[in-house]
């Protein structure tokens, strides 16, 4: 589907509308309705006549999300019929919808069949409504379960990306790892996850912009000599920002989450998140080394004629917004 085509604008608008309906509703049925509108708007965006894998990804995404929606609707019906509070069942359905561990099995395979633009939507916008709804059902019992989900997501997101050579699957495991940080912030009943997801969206847009511009889908595509050195260096810096290294944008929300975890005595969760961030940094550095070092001498002269538009647009997202984010995040 072409970007800025009438169908893309229509379905993107209804997708955002479904998200806003879910996060602003005062009833679980209205929240479920918003999630369904969001789902049915995303299916046409995934489907493409020119790519058979996208139709398969759309069908898989529909089946998985339908299972999550059916579980949510059943648990909400229990809330009204039996006057019980099925928060754990609601949490399981939202975990499935956001793609957090241990219900993350569908995310890498579905992202592998999507275009980079749809992968970006799935990694960012599609996470917002389930995360906000998760923050509505926090209690001492569910907070402990959210912390367990956070630790599992951190470990599986870090370890799962180690043996990946397909970039879209690697970004899927990276997204699972970042979900762990947001869930950790939610489990402390703080608003730090809002700052985290804004920073994650900005960095993801920067990285996906570069990968889509260079048509990179496999790790060996990063060694394409027609890709300019400036593009590769900016990709290197963006990956460091995604991994949370200072002085880049991704460091600030991670530092704030770790600081609050330590202040509340959750040392084990802080340790697991920090170690998983080091694992993700390993495969980010592996991507960067592949992009910067592997270029054949016979074709390296093409680098001088490469287009720098993607890199200059992405470079603006790395450091200039660092200072405003420091004002937003409490120290």
pLDDT at 20: 94
Is residue 151 one of the residues assigned to a domain? yes
Q: Is residue 66 part of a domain?
A: no
Task: Dihedral sign for Cα 169, 170, 171, 175, please.
Answer: positive
Of 45-54, 248-257, 265-274, 281-290, the range with the lowest mean pLDDT is 45-54
Question: Has residue 217 been placed in a domain?
Answer: yes
* Residues 177-209 pLDDT 10s: 999 999 999 988 778 889 999 999 999 998 998
| pLDDT: which is higher, 289 or 70 | 70
Task: Tell me the C-alpha to C-alpha distance, in Å, between residue 297 and each of 14, 77, 95, 227, 236.
Answer: 49, 65, 48, 14, 21
For the chain, give the percent of residues with pLDDT over 90: 44
Structural domains of the chain, count: 1
Q: Please give the residue range of the domain that contains residue 173.
A: 91-328
> Is residue 51 one of the residues assigned to a domain?
no
50 within some domain: no
Instruction: Please tell me the total number of residues recorded for the chain in this structure.
Output: 331
Whether residue 216 has pLDDT greater than 90: no
- In angstroms, the first-to-last Cα distance of the chain is 43
Nearest to 177 by CA among 271, 104, 72, 70: 104
> What's the CA gap between 180 and 279, in Å, rounded?
14
130 within domain boundaries: yes
Q: pTM here?
A: 0.86
Q: Where on the phi/psi map is residue 99: left (φ > 0), alpha (ψ -120 to 50), or beta?
A: left
**146 contact partners, CB below 8 Å, separation of at least 6:** 91, 134, 138, 183, 186, 187
86 within a domain of the structure (yes/no): no
């Amino acid at each position: 589907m072409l970007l800025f085509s009438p169908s893309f604008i229509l379905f993107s608008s209804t997708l955002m509308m479904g998200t806003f309906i879910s996060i602003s509703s005062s009833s679980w049925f209205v929240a479920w309705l918003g999630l369904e509108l969001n789902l049915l708007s995303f299916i046409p965006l995934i489907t493409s006549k020119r790519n058979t894998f996208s139709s398969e990804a759309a069908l898989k995404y529909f089946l998985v999300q339908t299972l999550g929606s059916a579980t949510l609707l059943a648990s909400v019906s229990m809330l009204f019929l039996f006057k019980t509070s099925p928060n754990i069942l609601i949490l399981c359905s939202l975990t499935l919808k956001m793609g957090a561990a241990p219900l993350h099995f569908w995310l890498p395979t579905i992202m592998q069949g999507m275009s980079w633009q749809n992968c970006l939507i799935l990694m960012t916008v599609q996470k917002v409504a389930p995360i906000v709804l998760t923050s509505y059902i926090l209690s001492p019992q569910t907070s402990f379960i959210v912390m367990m989900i956070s630790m599992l997501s951190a470990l599986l997101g870090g370890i799962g990306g180690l043996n990946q050579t397909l970039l879209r699957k690697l970004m899927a495991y990276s997204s699972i790892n970042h979900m762990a940080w947001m869930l950790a912030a939610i489990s402390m009943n703080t608003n730090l996850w809002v700052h985290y997801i804004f920073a994650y969206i900005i960095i993801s847009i920067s990285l996906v912009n570069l990968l889509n511009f260079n048509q990179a889908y496999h790790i060996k595509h990063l060694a394409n000599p027609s890709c300019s050195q400036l593009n590769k260096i900016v990709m290197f810096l963006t990956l460091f920002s995604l991994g949370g290294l200072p002085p880049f944008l991704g460091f600030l929300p991670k530092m704030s989450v770790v600081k609050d975890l330590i202040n509340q005595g959750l040392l084990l969760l802080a340790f697991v998140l920090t170690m998983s961030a080091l694992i993700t940094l390993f495969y980010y550095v592996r991507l960067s080394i592949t992009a910067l070092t592997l270029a054949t001498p016979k074709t390296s002269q093409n680098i001088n004629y490469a287009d720098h538009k993607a890199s200059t647009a992405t470079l603006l997202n790395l450091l200039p917004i660092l200072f405003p984010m420091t004002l937003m995040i409490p120290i």
